[in-house]
Amino acid sequence: MPVEPTLHKSERPPADAELHQRLVYGDESALSEAYAAYGGLVRRIAGRVTNSPAAAEDVAQEVFAQLWSRPYAFDARRGSLRTWLSVIAHRRAVDWVRGEARHRKAAGADDSALHAIPDTGPGPDEAVVDRERSLLLHSALAELPQPQREVVHLAYFAGRTYRQAAVELGIPEGTAKTRLRSALRKLAETLAEPPDPAWERGA
Amino acid sequence: MTDDHDGVPELLAAWAFGALQPADEKVVPLHLAGCESCAAEAERLRETVRLLDVPPGTAAAGNGSPAAAARNGSAAVSQNGSAAGVPGAGPLEASVVGGGPAGADGVLALALRSRPALPRVAEHAAPYAAAVAGLRALLREVDDGHGPWGTPVVHDWDVRDTVGHLIAADEQLAVRLGLETHTPPPRITGDTPWEEAWNTRTADVIAYERTRDPQETVDAWAERAAALLATPEARDPERAAHATTLMGVRLPVADHFVVRGFEAWIHTDDIGRALGLAVPPPPDAHLWRLVRLAVRILGMALGPTAPPVLFAVTAGESSTEWVLGSEDEAVRGELVLDAVDFCLLVGGRYTPDEVPRGMAGDEDVVRDVLERAAALSWL
């Protein structure tokens, strides 16, 4: 009976093929290694889509349970394990969000979250983009000059008026207003750039 | 409106942050109602603050209030200077990554439960245990877009029949170790030649299994494989040291377990090809165990007077050599085979002409070895 020798040779980097082999044959240490290598990535993706650490953990558990119980669902000839896990994680996380929205809808709450998730394939949806932008903003905030950061901290996070902030910082009111303005404009400029596409790849 | 836009531009950021003095509260909306440029700027700033409000995927789950987000945000802002500035790193990400070994173990432990654990067996039974795990995993893909149970596999068997055959094939060792036979009861008598007994038993079991659901066949096979792996002989090398004759060959029980592993893997490979799924070769340690047993049996089949051949088997970087045949004369030829190809040859999945090989010296002598190897196949 003729045999195709290429079925035994993998085109993928050795790491994936060897890991897959060990997963197929029931080697638990292979799953540990896969989790060590990709668990963070899976959780990050799930966390960004669901905005819930508890959901992210559930999704991670589902993803790695799938890898373990259905190792043949991953074909090393067709793509990397990293990509496969990312796609599964995104899909499961979107399912979770849709499930939650359906529950809320059934309970009579507004269904805007359900509509926010596109029905076709993985891709940024509004909620995810918002969360990514928020992360961008918080990062930019941390990079502001100290004088600006201080007044933003008091006026926004600590609920002071600009006059109270000025008093607490020992600066003139006008300075407080100006610093708030500079800070917020700087933050707004950060958003003028589109979110880094590398995020969606989980880089 | 005055030239300085009622002083509103200077107030817009404070307004967007919700940090206006009560006295200003009326001035701003009033001005915005009549001034497009300020209204546009106001919208932009307001939207920025709204996004600051969105919890950036951290522990502030579901709580959109500025105070809650602020507690997380302000921690990054006031404690950390610039460290939190890089997306994907730092304290904001840490809480999503599921802090610490406790989180990791929890996820892993639960994930591991989705599949039966490999039984703890002695080394000689490990190839069989692993092959069983691999076949179980493969069978989970049947009917899931990879092909139905009725997909033709080998001989006149389909996927389910192949599993049924394995029930029959494993039975000889099972019975020798004191386990029960499967339904229906065997028809064979003591003096039936083993090949006829083998074929009859397979035919009877397959016929019976065809009256059942494929999943019942799989369950029966898996259950009996587990029982075989639970015997003392599977777990204790000393209990597996004694020799017994099965399928016409006298070998230690330990080696019969290796043969079970070999057969399970070959048929898994058969099913994989039928379904279009690439079955990985057994892990190196197991593969070499199969190879060494096959070489020993091949050596016995060739006998001590056959013209000697230097036989090398390679797997990746490693390679092992044996001299097959007579040890009293110079080697007459050389043969090199890849480990998996050698196993497929011995398993009857390559003909002597087709198997990829390296040859040197007396080609007739080498070809004899190839044909003898192929003749070992009973699968």
Residue pLDDT, tens place only, B280-316: 999 999 999 999 999 999 999 999 999 999 999 999 8
* Residue B4 to residue A88: CA distance in whole angstroms: 55
Tell me the chain B residues in contact with residue A57 when contact means C-beta distances shorter than 8 Å.
98, 103, 106-107
* Residue A23 to residue B317: CA distance in whole angstroms: 22
For residue B178, the domain's CATH number is: 1.20.120.450
Q: Are residues B128 and B201 in the same domain?
A: yes
Q: Are residues A38 and A96 in the same domain?
A: yes
Q: Are residues B297 and B252 in the same domain?
A: no
Residue B117 lies in a domain: no
DSSP for chain A, please give it: ----GGGGS--S-HHHHHHHHHHHTT-HHHHHHHHHHHHHHHHHHHHHHH--HHHHHHHHHHHHHHHHH-GGGS-TTTS-HHHHHHHHHHHHHHHHHHHHHHHHHHTT---HHHHHS-SSSS---HHHHHHHHHHHHHHHHHTS-HHHHHHHIIIIIS---HHHHHHHHT--HHHHHHHHHHHHHHHHHHHHSPPPHHHHTT-
Residue B102 lies in a domain: no
Residue A2 lies in a domain: no
Question: Which chain A residue has its CA at the smallest distance from B127's CA?
Answer: A25
| pLDDT tens-place string over residues B245-287 | 998 889 999 999 999 999 999 999 999 999 999 999 999 999 9
End-to-end Cα spacing for chain A: 45
Shortest distance, CA B219 to any CA of chain A (angstroms)? 16
Q: Give me the number of domains chain A comprises.
A: 2
> Does A192 touch chain B if contact means CB atoms closer than 8 Å?
no
Q: Which residue, B213, B246, B279, sits at the end of a domain?
A: B279
Question: Which chain A residue has its CA at the smallest distance from B76's CA?
Answer: A142
**For residues B49 and B171, which has the higher predicted lDDT (pLDDT)?**
B171
Q: Are residues B135 and B186 in the same domain?
A: yes
Shortest distance, CA B221 to any CA of chain A (angstroms)? 17
pLDDT at B87: 39
Q: Are residues B84 and B142 in the same domain?
A: no
Q: Are residues A102 and A66 in the same domain?
A: yes
Q: Are residues B134 and B240 in the same domain?
A: yes
Inspect the interface and report whether the beta carbons of A5 and B356 lie closer than 8 Å.
yes
Q: With H, G, I as helix, E, B as strand and everything else as coil, classify residue B315.
A: strand
Q: Indicate the angle between helix axes A53-69 and A28-50, nearest 10 degrees.
A: 140
| pLDDT tens-place string over residues B40-77 | 888 888 888 878 877 665 333 333 344 433 443 333 33
Q: Are residues A132 and A194 in the same domain?
A: yes
Give the phi and the psi of residue B277 in degrees, each rounded to 5.
-110, 135
Give the residue from A25, A49, A78 with the most B CB atoms within 10 Å of its CB, the best one to mutate. Answer: A25
Helix (H) or strand (E) holding B320: strand B318-324
In which domain, by residue range, is A162 found? 126-200
Q: Are residues B265 and B303 in the same domain?
A: no
Q: With a cut of 0.95, is the ipTM above it?
A: no
Are A150 and A158 in contact by the 8 Å Cβ rule? The answer is: no
Q: Are residues B321 and B275 in the same domain?
A: no
* CA-based nearest residue to B324, from B347, B350, B304, B338: B304
Q: Are residues A97 and A156 in the same domain?
A: no
Q: Are residues A133 and A170 in the same domain?
A: yes
pLDDT at B171: 95
> Which span out of A42-51, B17-26, B137-146 was modeled with the highest average pLDDT?
A42-51
Pairing of strands B318-324, B333-338: unpaired
Shortest distance, CA A119 to any CA of chain B (angstroms)? 22
Total residues found in chain B within this entry? 379
> Which of A25, A40, A133 has its CB closest to that of B97?
A40
Are B201 and B168 in contact by the 8 Å Cβ rule? The answer is: yes
pLDDT at B62: 35
Inspect the interface and report whether the beta carbons of A140 and B85 lie closer than 8 Å.
yes
Q: Are residues B166 and B300 in the same domain?
A: no
* CA-based nearest residue to B12, from B49, B38, B34: B38
Residue B226 lies in a domain: yes
Q: With H, G, I as helix, E, B as strand and everything else as coil, classify residue B311.
A: strand
Residue A154 lies in a domain: yes
Cα angle A20-A80-B127, degrees, rounded to a multiple of 5: 5
| pLDDT tens-place string over residues B67-99 | 433 443 333 333 333 333 333 333 333 333 444
- Grade residue B364 by pLDDT with cuts at 50, 70 and 90: very high
Q: Which of residues 105-124 of A touch B (CB under 8 A)?
A: none
pLDDT at B19: 87
Residue A186 lies in a domain: yes
pLDDT at A158: 78
| pLDDT tens-place string over residues A50-94 | 999 999 999 999 999 999 999 999 988 888 999 999 999 999 999
Q: Which of residues 50-69 of A touch B (CB under 8 A)?
A: 51-54, 56-57, 60-61, 64-69
Calculate what percentage of chain B has a pLDDT beyond 70: 85
* Residue A129 to residue A193: CA distance in whole angstroms: 12
For residue B309, the domain's CATH number is: 3.30.1050.10
Q: Which residue, A106, A137, A152, sits at the end of a domain?
A: A106
CB contact set of A29 (below 8 Å; sequence gap of 6+) = A22
Q: Give me the number of domains chain B comprises.
A: 3
Quick one: tokens of B159?
A: 């996927």
Residue A41 lies in a domain: yes
Helix (H) or strand (E) holding B324: strand B318-324
- Residue B146 DSSP code: S
Q: Are residues A86 and A17 in the same domain?
A: yes
Shortest distance, CA B40 to any CA of chain A (angstroms)? 13
| Residue A34 CB burial class (10 angstroms; 0-12, 13-18, ≥19) | buried
* Residue A63 to residue B279: CA distance in whole angstroms: 22
* Residue B260 to residue B273: CA distance in whole angstroms: 20
Tell me the chain A residues in contact with residue B88 when contact means C-beta distances shorter than 8 Å.
44, 199, 203
pLDDT at A137: 78
* Alpha-carbon distances of B215 from B93, B129, B211, B226, rounded to whole Å: 44, 20, 12, 16
For residue A102, the domain's CATH number is: 1.10.1740.10
* Residue A51 to residue B178: CA distance in whole angstroms: 57
Mean pLDDT of B12-20: 88
Give the phi and the psi of residue A171 in degrees, each rounded to 5.
-125, 160
Residue A112 lies in a domain: no
Q: With H, G, I as helix, E, B as strand and everything else as coil, classify residue B248.
A: coil
Residue B80 lies in a domain: yes
Residue A113 lies in a domain: no
Are B366 and B323 in contact by the 8 Å Cβ rule? The answer is: no
Are B247 and B379 in contact by the 8 Å Cβ rule? The answer is: no
Helix (H) or strand (E) holding B72: helix B66-74
Residue A119 lies in a domain: no
- Grade residue B183 by pLDDT with cuts at 50, 70 and 90: confident
Q: Which residue, A106, A139, A158, sits at the end of a domain?
A: A106
Inspect the interface and report whether the beta carbons of B61 and A178 lie closer than 8 Å.
no
Q: Are residues A20 and A95 in the same domain?
A: yes
Bridge partners (DSSP) of residue B318 are B315
> Which of A21, A24, A48 has its CB closest to that of B57?
A48
In which domain, by residue range, is B188 found? 123-279
Shortest distance, CA B43 to any CA of chain A (angstroms)? 11
Tell me the chain B residues in contact with residue A130 when contact means C-beta distances shorter than 8 Å.
51, 54
Residue B101 lies in a domain: no
Among A7-11, A57-61, B150-154, B357-361, name the one with the lowest average pLDDT.
Answer: A7-11
Residue A115 lies in a domain: no
Q: Are residues B205 and B127 in the same domain?
A: yes
Question: From first to last of its 203 residues, what are the pLDDT tens digits of chain A?
Answer: 444 444 444 434 348 999 999 999 999 999 999 999 999 999 999 999 999 999 999 999 999 999 999 999 998 888 899 999 999 999 999 999 998 888 777 766 555 555 555 544 334 456 666 676 777 777 778 778 889 988 998 888 777 889 989 988 989 999 999 999 999 988 887 776 544 444 334 43
Inspect the interface and report whether the beta carbons of A5 and B10 lie closer than 8 Å.
no
For residue A145, the domain's CATH number is: 1.10.10.10
Cα angle A143-A144-A145, degrees, rounded to a multiple of 5: 120
Are B149 and B191 in contact by the 8 Å Cβ rule? The answer is: no
> Which of A70, A157, A184 has its CB closest to that of B140?
A70
Shortest distance, CA A131 to any CA of chain B (angstroms)? 5
Q: Which of residues 158-177 of A touch B (CB under 8 A)?
A: 158-163, 165, 174, 176-177
Give the phi and the psi of residue B119 in degrees, each rounded to 5.
-65, 150
Pairing of strands B358-361, B333-338: antiparallel
| pLDDT tens-place string over residues B203-236 | 999 999 999 999 999 999 999 999 999 999 999 9
